[in-house]
Amino acid sequence: MINFLILPLLIPFLTGILLIFFARNVVIQRWITAFSAFFNVIIAFMLVQKVRNDGIQTLDVSSWQAPFGITLVSDMLSALLVLTTTIIAFTSVIYSFRSIGIEREKYFYYPALNFLIVGVIGAFTTGDIFNLFVFFEVLLMASYVLLVLGGTKIQLRETIKYILVNVISSALFVIAVAYLYSVVGTLNMAHISVRLSELGQSGLITVIAVLFLIVFGLKGGIFPLYFWLPGSYYAPPAPVMAMFGALLTKVGVYAIMRTYTLFFIHDTGYTHQLLMILTIITIIVGVIGAIAFSDIKKIIIYNIIVAVGVILFGVSVMTPDSLAGSVFYLIHDMIIKAGLFLLIGIIIAITGTSDLRKISGLIKRYPGLGWAFFLAALVLAGIPPFSGFVGKVLIVKGGFESEHYWGAGIVLASSLLVLFSIMKIFINGFWGTPQDYKGEDKVPVRKLLIAPVILVTISVLYGAGSEFIFPYISQAAETLANPGIYIDAVLKEW
Amino acid sequence: MKPNDVILHSVTKVAVFIILTFSIYLFFGGHHNPGGGFIGGLSVASGLVLLYLTFDIETVRRNIPVDFKKVAAFGVLIAIFTGASSLLFDKPFLNQAYGYFNLPIFGKTELATAVIFDVGVALAVIGTAVTIILSISEDG
């Protein structure tokens, strides 16, 4: 079936629309959302297998041949990211049942959640630069709704900031696409790549490359452009925060990966050098933030920034090893960040605060939560059997091979500080004298734990089975390292 | 003293018909002339907004008893199903089918599934625009 790769996009879209008709009936909404999210995981898994067996899948929407219509492309990277997205969506949905509250659920929470997934999956799947913009807008609009839904004071304030930043960055995106279109005269990503290699990299194209870096850097939170992220991600409830932290910045990261491995590869001396410097500073800034705060949400939020830096450092090095490492680390980080946000969501629900100094001795009463958090912390820091390890090893190896000793050294050192920041939560929050918290008996901890435990289990298996998973990763990295594969798949007989 | 806006009422009753007719004209003209689902839907919405301005919200709601949120959702649903119907025929998503038919009054007419997609767009635009106007006009 030629339309197979559009199914992961179509299913949440249809679900989201159907749910609007059942706005008042929360039980039906939950069932439909959970069922469709689970079904979508299976579909996405089949898509990964299909890409593995048959190579890159492309679909020329509405039968127009490749450079003229919109092409949807599912190479291994995008298929894996789609699978990860559906898993995170499913776990966030089942976590929402017990935590988000009936008031939010009545006011289109699940439709907005589904549209967010449509936007993310669409952005991962599209093969057209303007279509990428449209899917960015789809996911951003849904994220505005999810961020403001509930209408508490902090949400309103942070939503204004978030919308302002994203409207500006979207306008910049349009301007960047307009510049690129005026140079190459096409919007299809494979065709842009062909045209750019015919033109060679003039100064104008380098300017456009930097403009794209600014645009996607604003979305993804790299060094001078991350300023909006800590505040905005602090505001929403835990499952929304998990999806934001796991998916939204990673779409920006994916877009940088795509453009910097497919378009701007002819003069890497300037653009990739710039990217590398920015990512290294991003890592340093993120680590400083993660150590400095004693607020558990802020610690995890700054860890997002560290991870964005690490992934993009691998991209900027551009060796096959480091690209494979980036892909591996990207998927690892999406899963474990979602898991960590859901876990600290439970901690905040129990204690009623996110201030680390007011929390202690949780492990006495909640051993399951404690050990799940401990495992998640080890996975995040990249202790050898777990999944953060393989990605980082490959990135560091790539860095040393191409003689970027400083960068690779900072990536290594960042692991230590990330471990320190996350263990600070474990040691201060879970050890020590147990306390009584107001209203903790009302929190259904066991039921809430299901979703993060699924995620932590997946990420442990992901690390332990990296031998089995690595062929998929290297297939993804091969397409990144060698854009000819992508171009041939999209522009048949060009 | 209650203001007497009989002139506004009488003019609106005529003008709304003209506006709605014009928006349907715009809507169907979209394939060969400027127009289409977006502008057609927006001008239908402007006609409805004129009704809301002239008469009060309760009166209009009694006479047009639809939930415009659901109109918008229904519009998107139509658009998805037009696109997804091509999955049944193993054609790429959003594939357009068209043909020429001899209709009783219009004679030889080109009918395309893109029009159904446009109906979806128009309904989505109407639903969204009217929902925005109604929700900012209500208290609370």
pTM, two decimals, is: 0.94
Considering only CB atoms, which chain B residues are within 8 Å of A3? Answer: 86-87, 90, 92-93
The C-alpha angle with vertex A243 and arms to A220 and A58, in degrees rounded to 5, equals: 70
Rama region for A361: left / alpha / beta (φ>0; ψ in -120 to 50; rest) = left
Verify whether the Cβ–Cβ distance A17 to B69 is below 8 Å. Answer: no
Which of A58, A63, A145 should one mutate to test binding to chain B, selecting the residue with the greatest count of B CBs within 10 A? A63
Nearest to A459 by CA among A358, A312, A359, A343: A343
pLDDT of res. A14: 94
Verify whether the Cβ–Cβ distance A17 to B94 is below 8 Å. Answer: no
What single-letter DSSP state applies at residue B99? E
Nearest to B77 by CA among A467, A258, A18, A130: A18
Question: Which residue among B70, B80, B96 places its CB closest to the CB of A62?
Answer: B96
Verify whether the Cβ–Cβ distance A6 to B93 is below 8 Å. Answer: yes
Position A201 pLDDT exceeds 80: no
Helices A129-148 and A249-262: crossing angle, nearest 10°? 170
Name residue, tokens 């979207």. Answer: A170
Q: Are strands B98-103 and B107-112 parallel, antiparallel or unpaired?
A: antiparallel
- For A277-324, write each residue's pLDDT tens digit: 999 999 999 999 999 999 999 999 999 999 999 999 999 988 888 999
With CA atoms as reference, the chain B residue closest to A108 would be B69
Question: Which residue among B72, B76, B94 places its CB closest to the CB of A62?
Answer: B94
What single-letter DSSP state applies at residue A128? B
DSSP A273-295: HHHHHHHHHHHHHHHHHHHH--B
Q: What is the ipTM of this complex?
A: 0.91
CA–CA gap between residue B10 and residue A86 (Å, rounded): 56
CA–CA gap between residue A83 and residue A70 (Å, rounded): 22
Tokens of B75: 């519009």
Question: Which residue among B76, B87, B92 places its CB closest to the CB of A17?
Answer: B76
Residue B45: band (very low, low, confident or very high) from pLDDT cuts 50, 70, 90: very high
Tokens of A466: 């990296």
Position B56 pLDDT exceeds 80: yes
CA–CA gap between residue A169 and residue A216 (Å, rounded): 8
Mean pLDDT score of chain A, rounded to an integer?
91
Position A494 pLDDT exceeds 70: no
pLDDT of res. A184: 92
- For A18-66, write each residue's pLDDT tens digit: 999 988 889 999 999 999 999 999 999 999 999 999 989 999 888 888 8
- For A207-233, write each residue's pLDDT tens digit: 999 999 999 999 998 988 999 999 999
Verify whether the Cβ–Cβ distance A20 to B73 is below 8 Å. Answer: yes
CA–CA gap between residue A362 and residue A341 (Å, rounded): 17
With residues binned 3-state (H G I as helix, E B as strand, rest as coil), the percentages for chain B, rounded to 5, are 70, 10, 25
Residue B140: band (very low, low, confident or very high) from pLDDT cuts 50, 70, 90: very low
A141 touches chain B (CB under 8 A): no
Mean pLDDT score of chain B, rounded to an integer?
89
Position B133 pLDDT exceeds 80: yes
pLDDT of res. B1: 62
B68 to chain A, closest Cα gap in Å = 11
Position B97 pLDDT exceeds 90: no
Residue B101: band (very low, low, confident or very high) from pLDDT cuts 50, 70, 90: confident
**Residue A373, exposed/middle/buried by CB under 10 A (0-12, 13-18, 19+)?**
buried
What is the amino acid identity at position A256?
I
Residue B43: band (very low, low, confident or very high) from pLDDT cuts 50, 70, 90: very high
CA–CA gap between residue A353 and residue B40 (Å, rounded): 51
> What is the length of chain B?
140
Q: Are strands A71-74 and B98-103 parallel, antiparallel or unpaired?
A: unpaired
Verify whether the Cβ–Cβ distance B93 to A17 is below 8 Å. Answer: no
Considering only CB atoms, which chain B residues are within 8 Å of A6? Answer: 93
- For A330-387, write each residue's pLDDT tens digit: 999 999 999 999 999 999 999 988 898 888 888 888 999 999 999 999 999 888 888 8
CA–CA gap between residue A127 and residue A117 (Å, rounded): 18
Name residue, tokens 């989505």. Answer: B124
Is the separation of the CB atoms in A192 and A129 below 8 Å?
yes
Nearest to A279 by CA among A253, A299, A259, A258: A253
Nearest to A355 by CA among A295, A436, A298, A300: A295
CA–CA gap between residue A394 and residue A396 (Å, rounded): 5
pLDDT of res. B10: 93
Q: Considering only residues 40 to 79 of chain A, which have any Cβ-Cβ distance to chain B shorter than 8 Å?
A: 59-63
Q: Which of A242-246, A337-341, A436-440, B56-60 has the lowest mean pLDDT?
A: A436-440
- Torsion sign over Cα A292, A294, A295, A297: positive
Which are the contacts of A65, defined by CB distance < 8 A and separation ≥ 6? none
Position A159 pLDDT exceeds 50: yes
